[in-house]
Amino acid sequence: MAEAANPKFLRPVVAPEVDPGQAITFGADRPLLLDAGRELSPVTIAYMTYGELNAQKSNAVLICHALTLDQFAASQHPVTGKPGWWDTLIGPGKPIDTNRFFVICANVVGGCMGTTGPASIDPTTGKPYGLSFPVVTIKDMVRAQAMLLDALGIEQLLCVLGGSMGGMQVLQWAASYPERVLSAIPIATAANHSAQNIAFHEVGRQAIMADPDWKGGAYQLEGTQPSKGLAVARMAAHITYLSEAALQRKFGRNLQNRNAISFGFGPDFQIESYLRHQGMTFVDRFDANSYLYITRAMDYFDLAEDYGGVLAEAFRGTKTRFCIVSFTSDWLFPTVENKHIAHALNAAAANVSFVEIDTDRGHDAFLLDEPEMFATVRGFINSVAASHGVK
């Protein structure tokens, strides 16, 4: 039985014809050891690279992506056709200058753009993992990235940077592999996921699991897709990425293609139409089970936990240079949580910068055109590059 050819077993999102970029598969001899106490094997890590690794292998920069993003940080997305999600930051002559730096971005374990995740085939059953996929953590994602770098022969990273969940990975990298990380830029992030953030994630997960097409997570086998649930999850989450001021400025109470309210439940308001669009387009590029797993990984993140509850201990003796960035209107990962990291780094006598950027665009600001963020990243990485002799 050629199960791989059975359409029911195809990835619901990433069809085989979609090129996930480069990929490395680690076989039975190199299982990924998970925090949950299980081993994941085989494990494929899909990634993209930009620029060239220099002879000394001293110019590698690792980008860690956020919850629903992927390895296409600086190149066109194969499903949506949109430019890379950090196209404004990474590229020739840009702050992360690919004429100088070798940039790597890998899809996280549990993801759905080519890296092993719940939609992948479990070799022991020949069927998609679904909910039998082990729960993964931020630390597991970082371990997988470290395996990738080992395979690429990259011992040390000039810089690791990322926003939101990417920032969590950056912090975990600095704590787990301090000798491999020369500098770190955690952006709009936190050392643990707050009660409010767990709450929003739970709403999203419940929306997915309440969709009858979710089928207890086995929708691939059943030939269905919990699109409605996933879309609602995305709509709720998307609100948290913006700010009240930005929503008001952009949409206010404007009506959508009509002159008066309809006395019904159609999308009367522009904001409703906008959210519906966000939800609908999201399901074309993201797997519902991946959404469950990755949100869970964020919920479980508490960096201090491994260090007796004292965050500074996670960074004791670190030689890594840090640059923390937050945004004034970000209420998902507010300045106070970013500052908490800065204080812990001070307590560890680490070399740390902390920049707060004034914007009304909320959490999503880290993905947008924010000149002050670009100036910060450029100044910081250039200074790090100079002190390590990277031209």
Partner 1 sequence: MSNGLRPDLAAIAEVIPQGARVLDIGCGDGALLEHLAATKNVDGRGLELSQHNVNACVARGLSVVQGDADTDLGDYPAQIFDVAILSQTIQATRSPKTVLAALLRIGKLTAVSFPNFGHWRIRLSLLANGRMPQTRTLGYTWHETPNIHLCTIADFVALTEEVGGVVQSALALRKDGHTQAMQVHAWGPNLLAEGAIFFLRSKNAPST
Q: Which are the catalytic amino acids? A: 164, 330, 363
Q: Angle, to 10 degrees, between the axis of helix 288-300 and the axis of helix 138-152?
A: 100
Interaction between residue 101 and partner 1 (CB under 8 A): no
- Report the alpha-carbon distance of residue 98 to residue 113 in Å, rounded: 23
DSSP state of 264: S
In terms of Cα–Cα distance, which of 175, 387, 211 is closest to 292? 211
Query: Which of 98-106, 224-232, 297-305, 380-388 is the region at the interface with partner 1 (rule: CB under 8 A)?
Result: 380-388
Interaction between residue 242 and partner 1 (CB under 8 A): no
Interaction between residue 379 and partner 1 (CB under 8 A): yes
Interaction between residue 366 and partner 1 (CB under 8 A): no
Is the CB of 293 or the CB of 315 nearer to partner 1? 315
From the list 75, 224, 281, 353, which residue makes contact with partner 1 (rule: CB under 8 A)?
A: 353
- Report the alpha-carbon distance of residue 292 to residue 71 in Å, rounded: 19
349 to 255, 318, 343: CA distances (angstroms):
54, 8, 10
Interaction between residue 307 and partner 1 (CB under 8 A): no
* Alpha carbon 129 to chain centroid, angstroms: 21
Can you say whether residue 253 is alpha, beta or left, with left for phi > 0 and alpha for psi between -120 and 50 degrees?
A: alpha
Interaction between residue 390 and partner 1 (CB under 8 A): no
**Is the previous residue joined to 42 through a cis bond, with omega within 30 degrees of 0?**
yes
Query: Which of 58-66, 227-235, 262-270, 382-390 is the region at the interface with partner 1 (rule: CB under 8 A)?
Result: 382-390
Q: Angle, to 10 degrees, between the axis of helix 195-210 and the axis of helix 288-300?
A: 160
User: 281 in helix, strand or coil?
Assistant: helix
- Report the alpha-carbon distance of residue 241 to residue 164 in Å, rounded: 10
Interaction between residue 356 and partner 1 (CB under 8 A): yes
- Report the alpha-carbon distance of residue 235 to residue 345 in Å, rounded: 35
Interaction between residue 386 and partner 1 (CB under 8 A): yes
Interaction between residue 90 and partner 1 (CB under 8 A): no
Is the CB of 142 or the CB of 323 nearer to partner 1? 323
Is the CB of 125 or the CB of 351 nearer to partner 1? 351
From the list 210, 261, 349, 368, which residue makes contact with partner 1 (rule: CB under 8 A)?
A: 349
CB 335, min distance to partner 1, A: 9
Interaction between residue 354 and partner 1 (CB under 8 A): yes
Interaction between residue 76 and partner 1 (CB under 8 A): no
Q: Residues 321-340 vs partner 1: string with x where CB under 8 A?
A: x-x---------------x-
For residue 195, count other CB atoms closer than 10 A to its CB. Answer: 6
Interaction between residue 188 and partner 1 (CB under 8 A): no
Is the CB of 143 or the CB of 361 nearer to partner 1? 361
Is the CB of 7 or the CB of 309 nearer to partner 1? 309
In terms of Cα–Cα distance, which of 165, 215, 208 is closest to 190? 165
- Report the alpha-carbon distance of residue 362 to residue 77 in Å, rounded: 24
From the list 61, 67, 106, 355, which residue makes contact with partner 1 (rule: CB under 8 A)?
A: 355
CB 384, min distance to partner 1, A: 8
CB 104, min distance to partner 1, A: 23
From the list 30, 238, 378, 388, which residue makes contact with partner 1 (rule: CB under 8 A)?
A: 378
Burial of 297 (0-12, 13-18, 19+ CB in 10 A): buried
Instruction: Please give the residue ranges that form the binding site for partner 1 (CB under 8 A).
Output: 321, 323, 339, 342-344, 346-349, 351-358, 372, 375-376, 378-380, 382-383, 386
